[in-house]
Amino acid sequence: MEGVVVAVSRSAKHTMSKPNEESIRLLAGLGVEGDAHLGTTVKHRSRVTRDAGQPNLRQVHLIHGELHDELREAGFRISPGQMGENITTRGVDLLALPTGARLCLGSIAVVEVTGLRNPCGQLNGIEPGLMAATLGRDERGDLIRKAGIMGVVAVGGEVRPGDRVSVVLPSYPHRPLTPV
C-alpha cells in the first residue's frame, strides 16, 4: 500500500480542530512537536483524569482523506485538520491496517499504529450529526469507527503535504485495530 500526505496539522492547545501547517516535526517517542498531545504519557483530557501515568498511545492522529470525501458527500463541510488529525492521508486504507503496522512518512519519519480513534461528541461541535456520520455498521452489525487511527512516533522526522506514505506490515498473526 502506498499513498500520499494531503495535509499536516497541529495545535498547542486542546482544541478539536488543528490548523494546517507547511510541515510538522515528529519526535521519536513523543509525538508532534508543538502539539498538545506531545509526550510519553497520555494527554487526552478525559484519559488524564482516569490515569495520567498511562502511556500515550495517541501521539499522532491520522485520518484518510477519503473519509472527508464521504462526509462532504453526506453534506458536511469538512477539511483537513478540522477533526483533530495531525496527518491527513490519501490512498492508504488506514482502517484496514493491523495494530503495529508502520507508516513511513516522507524521507525518514515512521509512525507505528496503535489503534482506532474513538469518535467523541466534540465532533458535533464542528457540525451537528458529525459524530454519528463517523460511525457505521458492518454486515454483522458490528460498530465501525471511521474517525481515523492513532499511533506513536517510532522514528522522528519532518512531514509535509505531498510526502509519500508507505506501509510496513507487522509479522503474522495480525491483530485488528481496537480503540485506544
What is the DSSP secondary-structure string of 12-66?
SS--SS--EES-EEEETTTEETT-TT-SSB---HHHHHHHTTSB-S-SEEEEEHH
Cis? peptide before 176, omega within 30° of 0: no
pLDDT for 134 beyond 80 = yes
Model pLDDT for residues 64-91, shown as the tens digit of each residue: 999 999 999 999 999 999 999 999 999 9
User: Model-level pTM?
Assistant: 0.95
Rounded average pLDDT over 165-172: 98
Q: Which residue has the cell 477533526?
A: 83
The share of the chain scoring above pLDDT 70, in percent, equals: 97
Model pLDDT for residues 47-61, shown as the tens digit of each residue: 666 777 889 999 999
| Assigned C-alpha cell, 61 | 492522529
Residue-level pLDDT at 120: 85
Residue-level pLDDT at 48: 61
Residue-level pLDDT at 179: 95
Integer angstrom CA distances of residue 80 from 85, 86, 124, 156: 7, 9, 16, 22
Residue-level pLDDT at 45: 63
pLDDT for 1 beyond 90 = no
19-33, 77-91, 118-132: range with lowest mean pLDDT: 118-132
Residue 63: how many other CB atoms lie within 10 Å? 29
Q: Which residue has the cell 508543538?
A: 34
Instruction: Give strand pairing partners of 113.
Output: 151
Indicate the helix (H) or strand (E) that contains 128: none
Domains and CATH numbers, the chain: 2-168 (2.40.33.20)
Residue-level pLDDT at 50: 77
Q: Output DSSP code: residue 72.
A: H
Q: 74: buried, middle or exposed (CB in 10 Å: 19+, 13-18, 0-12)? A: exposed
